[in-house]
Structure 1
Amino acid sequence: MAVSPPLPVDLSGIRLDPGKGLAGQLYQALRERILDGRLPAGVRLPASRDLATLLGVGRNTVVRAFDQLYAEGYVEGRVGAGTYVAAVTASAPVPATTPLDVPLTQPLQRLQAHHLPLPREGAPRAFRVGVPAFDLFPFETWARLSARFWRKPSPARLGYGDPAGDWQLRELIAAYLRNGRGLHCDPAQIIVTCGAQQAISLCAQLLVEVGDKVAVENPGYRAAGHAFAVAGAQLVGIAVDGQGLDTDELESADCRMAYVTPSHQYPTGVTLSLARRLALLDWAERREGWIIEDDYDGEYRYNGTPLAPLAALDRNGRVLYVGTFCKIAFPALRLGYLVLPKALAEAFSRRRALDTRHLEIGTQAVMASFIADGHFQRHIRRMRAAARSRRDALLANWPQDIRGCAPLPDVEAGLHLCVRVDSLTREAELIARAAQVGVELNGLSDYWLPGSPLADDQRAGLVLGFAAVPEARIVEATEALRAAWSD
């Protein structure tokens, strides 16, 4: 009886799971042994038939694994001459707990200091901030429009598109802003973006020089501040009072750019007064500066029609208007727009082309049909009514006489409200107790710039979104808070 020759190397330690792809597992096992030196360069691997017998698998499994190793350069040889491990240079693996000692560039250093926290997981709960009533979105209508577009899309829309966005959608956005918001602009001034944050970031990339001072509301939307800071700006916090951004304080700051949320300040909820709107525009004209207007939830006005944007008053091309569909539809849509002064439109479009070339066409085309067919305006009316009803449910059921917590303010706009608390200690306590009963609250203290001049206790409060869940769940949440906060 003939005796089989010994295998060139010992591979008996390889274990393959029959419930998974065998060839892929064998390829990974051999690759790891080659990279870590257990199979050194020049070693002859077993013949495919011998290795198949050793591992108890079919010869085709071994052949497929060898073919992949050949293709990637881990092994070499010729048919009939055997298979040998190629000379592979690989660094020793770095343990996961050991940080890489790599010098960081200034942009990376700024990014380490200014980044966004991970979003909250799971479906919305009371009182998640920044989330509209997307449980009311007409998904069947959206699916029908999407199927209609993709059933037979025009070949002209399937190539590389305009970096500023789909022209039809830009025309419809311009018409909506003109008829629904009182803002007159040409479609050529509009750039479609991946949500409002990308629009803000684009402004930071093109209008901020390293070392520039940028005025931001304090407290304010920290994600916008992060975008400017990563671009190299020094953030200058400007106080917010009952009339919005303090334009007198802005005058004394050495800035040529200001980021504002005039229709519904985030997070305090106040509206920038007309006198201060005019003062802000005058400041921009005299300083030859820029105003970034973030109208993130301007459609939600509960007494009368929505306010005209600050950009509608601009006669000197100093306001860049940021709008979004995410607060009307749902955040995952990632669709917004930027209305630019005519002098900036071409430059922004060119910069956009270098970032993403252009946005995906399907979402833009479906949103264009959604607007053109009248669904968008109907949905706005429905969302506004739902948000008003959910606001009323919160105001009617909010627990009263909570120690250290001010009464709820009047809420005439937007998707959230802010209530003051008498100390940071009490703020943290209320938030922690709410979390224990499954209720989400944001602390106002998180919205201030580091080193803000106010005392700690003046920065405390609670920020609540009231549109994320139906009225019944709002009532349940307020009852849970009443029990959790009972002293």
Structure 2
Amino acid sequence: MPVATPSLTFDFAGIQLDRRQGLSRQLYQALRERILDGRLSSGTRLPASRDLAASLSISRNSVMRAYDQLYAEGFTDGRIGDGTYVAQLPDKPTPAKKLSTKVSTGLSPSLSTGLSTKSLNHAGDLSSKVIHSASMDLLERHHLSAHKTGLPRAFRVGIPAFDLFPFDVWGKLHAAFWRKPGLHQLGYGDPAGEWRLRELIAVYLRTSRDLQCAPEQIVITSGAQQAIALCAQLLLNDGDGVAIENPGYRAAGHAFAVAGATLFGMPVDAEGMQCPDSNDSRCKVAYVTPSHQYPLGVTMSLARRLDLLAWAERTQGWIVEDDYDGEYRYSGAPLAPLAALDRHGRVLYVGTFGKVAFPALRLGYLVLPRNLVKPFSQRRAVDMRHSEIGTQAVMAEFIASGHFQRHIRRMRRAALNRRDALLAGWPQDLPGCSPMPKPSAGLHVTVTVESQAREQDLVAKAESVGVEVAPLSDYWLPDSDTPVDNRAGLVLGFAAVPEADIASALERLRGVWR
């Protein structure tokens, strides 16, 4: 007669429950953790719910709820008339490669909740050691730096005067839309964006920027960065060259590099970015900020613009024009963008509401040659289907009601006053620094410095008194031929805070800068 194999015994030592929290959830997590780490092996018989409840001094219902959850997730098997057993699980630990894959793709909320901190840390260690791809290698070298957080300070770069945004008006429009939204707007939308907003953007660009475009040419994006990333993804093959301003907007360079492009830094002088050589077939795309170069602040001359357009036509290349703060011009009307001169459909125009409203809005747009609208919309649909409807609809009403145009005029006056406050209080004859230029456009100004050591000294002393000054050296490509000391400078945004805060910051700088 065969001898029955004795059941494995259950040891509940170490299970401690906090009676101020859900008891059944804690018990479920404790049992699941023991099953996952092998302390409760396959075939172990769990105590009867009544016995375990008595041992832990909790109600039987709490135990039964924990058992039910374990059974529902496959951790246990119930045998009619014979109790509850730990389900048959792999005898050996999951190999590191498989474990790292699960960790990298994300555990379900119910599974991850019960893992101990030690277990999760161990899984994370395995993940970081095993996961490897060319894309991740690129991200190690091409990722966005962490933005400054908290309330804006002088002289934070890239921030408009969003303290002046009419939040009361925006709030009313937002509430009105969501009080009774059109049911036709609540399903999946057009990946190119809400039609009414595209119509109004086209009218705005035609009337204020002399950019003749139709709503069909516009694709709404999640800020300018997504627009640039779409250009990088769709205009380039792996290894294609991109002519990019150097120094320039590093986030754009990162987007092109992550897409597999090779970056060619182009010098920037008083006329803007120098044009790529037409005899050099390596560059397929040129990225420029012609209205107000970032970060040097120069405006691209007409001759240089025409040269760039001619380059694109001869080489069948593309020009990505980033007009991130084109609304801010302090003498005369804003300049017509490069795209307004394009007669051969080679310019992709990037616009954003972030520099007129506030960056957290994450609302931008592309004006595309007609033959590119379909592929750009298709790619955007694959990435994120479409933009959130409420922000688009509210912005459309904000523009249609005249609030947008009034706000732009107010923002332009405020930026001008804040620029003048910076110019008036800037310390003259600062050792090692050139005189501060008088910017005629944009939201920042750059002062060149004699050496990188002096630049770093000034930046560190500014930070010590709570003032943000960006080093110009951070805007250069790492492999630039330009000598290190020739890359030094200070980049100051002047729109983020009111004049009184600017005056206070300048007073603190005078106290530490020598």
Shorter-chain TM-score tier: over 0.9
Q: Which SS does the other structure have where 1:256 is aligned?
A: strand
How many aligned residue pairs are there? Answer: 480
Q: Which SS does the other structure have where 2:231 is aligned?
A: helix
The corresponding residue for 2:364 is 336
The corresponding residue for 1:150 is 178
Is 2:460 the partner of 1:437? no
Structure 2 residue runs without a partner (length 5+): 1-7, 97-118
2:45 partner amino acid: R
| 8 Å contact kept, 1:125–1:439 | yes
Counterpart Cα distance in 2 of 1:98 and 1:358: 36
Is 2:219 the partner of 1:191? yes
Q: Which SS does the other structure have where 1:479 is aligned?
A: helix
* Deviation larger for 73-82 or 243-252: 243-252
| 8 Å contact kept, 2:238–2:260 | yes
The corresponding residue for 2:5 is none
1:407 partner amino acid: P
Is 2:241 the partner of 1:213? yes
* Deviation larger for 148-157 or 72-81: 72-81
Q: Which SS does the other structure have where 2:350 is aligned?
A: strand
Could you give the per-residue CA deviations for residues 391-436 of structure 1, whole angstroms, max 9, x where no partner exists?
1111111222222122211111111111111111111111111111
2:230 partner amino acid: L
Counterpart Cα distance in 2 of 1:249 and 1:409: 31
How far does residue 110 in structure 1 lie from its aligned partner after superposition?
1.9
Q: Which SS does the other structure have where 1:40 is aligned?
A: coil
How far does residue 19 in structure 1 lie from its aligned partner after superposition?
3.0
Could you give the per-residue CA deviations for residues 191-233 of structure 1, whole angstroms, max 9, x where no partner exists?
0000000000001100010111110000000110111111111
The corresponding residue for 1:31 is 32
* Deviation larger for 53-62 or 224-233: 53-62
TM-score normalised over the length of structure 2: 0.90
The corresponding residue for 1:77 is 78
Q: Which SS does the other structure have where 2:428 is aligned?
A: coil
Counterpart Cα distance in 2 of 1:180 and 1:485: 42
The corresponding residue for 1:364 is 392
How far does residue 58 in structure 1 lie from its aligned partner after superposition?
2.5
Is 2:456 the partner of 1:418? no
| 8 Å contact kept, 1:214–1:235 | yes
Q: 1:473 aligns with which of 501, 504, 510?
A: 501
1:56 partner amino acid: S
Please show how residues 276-287 of structure 1 align to structure 2 within 5 Å.
Answer: 276-287=304-315
Could you give the per-residue CA deviations for residues 341-393 of structure 1, whole angstroms, max 9, x where no partner exists?
01111111111111111111111111111111111111111111111111111
Q: 2:510 aligns with which of 450, 465, 482?
A: 482
The corresponding residue for 2:11 is 10
Counterpart Cα distance in 2 of 1:229 and 1:82: 60
Q: Which SS does the other structure have where 1:236 is aligned?
A: strand
The corresponding residue for 1:124 is 152
How far does residue 87 in structure 1 lie from its aligned partner after superposition?
2.1
Counterpart Cα distance in 1 of 2:354 and 2:77: 54
Counterpart Cα distance in 2 of 1:197 and 1:87: 49
Is 2:270 the partner of 1:242? yes
Q: 2:192 aligns with which of 143, 164, 181?
A: 164
Q: Which SS does the other structure have where 1:464 is aligned?
A: strand
Change (3 A) 1:108 1:250: farther
Counterpart Cα distance in 2 of 1:392 and 1:184: 34
How far does residue 60 in structure 1 lie from its aligned partner after superposition?
2.3
Change (3 A) 1:400 1:64: farther
Please show how residues 318-333 of structure 1 align to structure 2 within 5 Å.
Answer: 318-333=346-361
How far does residue 120 in structure 1 lie from its aligned partner after superposition?
1.7
| 8 Å contact kept, 1:251–1:283 | no
Q: Which SS does the other structure have where 1:293 is aligned?
A: strand
Is 2:489 the partner of 1:461? yes
Change (3 A) 1:278 1:102: same
Counterpart Cα distance in 2 of 1:267 and 1:399: 21
1:54 partner amino acid: S
Counterpart Cα distance in 1 of 2:443 and 2:182: 38
Structure 1 residue runs without a partner (length 5+): 1-6
| 8 Å contact kept, 1:35–1:88 | no
Counterpart Cα distance in 2 of 1:456 and 1:250: 29
Q: Which SS does the other structure have where 1:386 is aligned?
A: helix
How far does residue 24 in structure 1 lie from its aligned partner after superposition?
2.1
Percent identity between the aligned chains?
Answer: 65
Could you give the per-residue CA deviations for residues 303-325 of structure 1, whole angstroms, max 9, x where no partner exists?
11111110011111000000000
Please show how residues 397-408 of structure 1 align to structure 2 within 5 Å.
Answer: 397-408=425-436
Counterpart Cα distance in 1 of 2:428 and 2:261: 43
